[in-house]
Amino acid sequence: MDIKTGLAWPCALEDPTDRRSGKPRQSGLTMVIDKGLGPSAFEDLLLTAGEYIDLLKFGFGTSPLYPLDLLRSKIALAKRHRVATFPGGTLLEAAYRLEVVAPYLDMAADLGFDGVEVSDGTIELSRRRRDELITEATQRGLRVFTEYGKKQAGSRIVTDDLRRTVELDLARGAELVTVEARESGIDVGLFDENGRCREEELQLLRRSLPEPDCLLWEAPQKEQQVSLLRILGTRVNLGNISPGDVLSLETLRRGLRSDTFALHPLVSDYMI
């Protein structure tokens, strides 16, 4: 509602699904990937769509490339909009390879990042070392978001391996396990070489995996988002969303776009 005029859209039009909750959300999370937004664009993003962003990842290893004052200001601005921030998992993988994990985690905490991503998309991590990294981060007060899957083209999801990873990561202290799809969403994990969702595989995963609210699916393309919403429902956590696609995704979640109009609870002829 506009406080000055008292004008407001009909409540039913704001969320026809009547399923979206406000912040802080426990499910239906949206994670945005920031690949280098400048301060004005970053502020514009948060002013326009901050209410619909739960997590923001400073992609890849971009964090050390910012002037520190600018990086701190972006993190602080995100906090004011109740958006949790963390560096991309590739940065931790580089820190691991270069044997500077402790200083990396100290710096992330000092800068004000809410969390870090623990992944092995490019490197190899033993289960023991993965556990240690999760523990080292949580001991510094950082939230931990882990990632499952490899970045190489053609890599696939192994259901039993994903289930075990989820169980062990959560038991160690991770909050979310992200299913790898890269920023392209092509020929990795759940998506084929054309970026299409392997929907039969997703249906099998839906029936097999525990703790669905603790999974976050990287899904940078609209049709991928539609498939995940249609099969897993509006509570699905989605990641690697482009800054320009936040409002578009929110319309998909709320049944305010033709692709997910069937999610509208009153459209009984099209209920999924």
Give me the pLDDT at residue 137, please. 98
Peptide bond into 24 cis (omega under 30): yes
Q: Can you give the pLDDT at residue 213?
A: 87
> What confidence tier does 1 reach under pLDDT thresholds 50, 70, 90?
low
Rounded-to-integer distance, Cα 25 and Cα 225, Å: 19
Q: Calculate the average pLDDT of the chain.
A: 92
Please compute the mean of the pLDDT values over residues 64-78 and round it to a whole number. Answer: 98
The residue ranges of every structural domain in the chain are 21-270
Say what the pLDDT of residue 272 is: 35
The pLDDT of residue 96 is above 80? yes
Residue 209: the pLDDT is 79
What does the DSSP 8-state code read for residue 229? Answer: H
Distances (CA, A) of 141 to 129, 147, 171: 19, 19, 17
Share of the chain above pLDDT 70, in %: 96
pLDDT level of residue 214 (50, 70, 90 thresholds): very high
Q: Check: CB of residue 178 under 8 Å from CB of residue 239.
A: yes
Q: Cα 254–259–264 angle (5° rounding)?
A: 40
**What pLDDT is recorded for position 227?**
95
Q: pLDDT of 143-188, one tens digit each?
A: 999 999 988 888 898 999 999 999 999 999 999 999 998 888 898 9
For 39-62, how does the pLDDT look when each residue is reduced to its tens digit (9 = 90+)? Answer: 999 999 999 999 999 999 999 999
Q: What topology is assigned to 21-270 in CATH?
A: TIM Barrel (3.20.20)
**Is residue 210 packed enough to be buried (19+ CB in 10 Å), middle (13-18) or exposed (0-12)?**
exposed
**Range with the poorest average pLDDT among 13-17, 163-167, 236-240:** 13-17
Structure confidence at residue 263 (pLDDT): 76
Residues 242-269: what's their mean pLDDT?
Answer: 84
Report the alpha-carbon distance of residue 153 to residue 87 in Å, rounded: 23
- The closest alpha carbon to 188, from 152, 234, 228, belongs to 152
What b-and-e string marks burial along 108-139, b requiring 16 or more CB atoms within 10 Å of the CB? bbebebbbbbbbbbeeebeeeebbebbebbbe
Looking at residue 269, its pLDDT comes to: 37
Amino acid letter at 66?
Y
Over range 229-248, report the average pLDDT.
95
Average the pLDDT over each of 25-34, 140-149, 193-202 and give the range with the smallest value.
Answer: 193-202
Q: Report the C-alpha gap between 106 and 210 in whole angstroms.
A: 32
Could you give the dihedral angle defined by the CA atoms of residues 64, 66, 68 and 72, in that order, rounded to the nearest 10 degrees? Answer: -100
- One-letter identity of residue 197: C
Is the pLDDT at 82 greater than 70? The verdict is yes
Query: What is the mean pLDDT of the segment spanning 78-106?
Result: 98
Identify the burial level of 72 via C-beta atoms within 10 angstroms of its C-beta, where 0-12 means exposed, 13-18 middle and 19 or more buried: middle
For 27, 50, 58, 133, 262, the CA distances from 243, given in Å and listed in that order, are 20, 10, 12, 29, 26
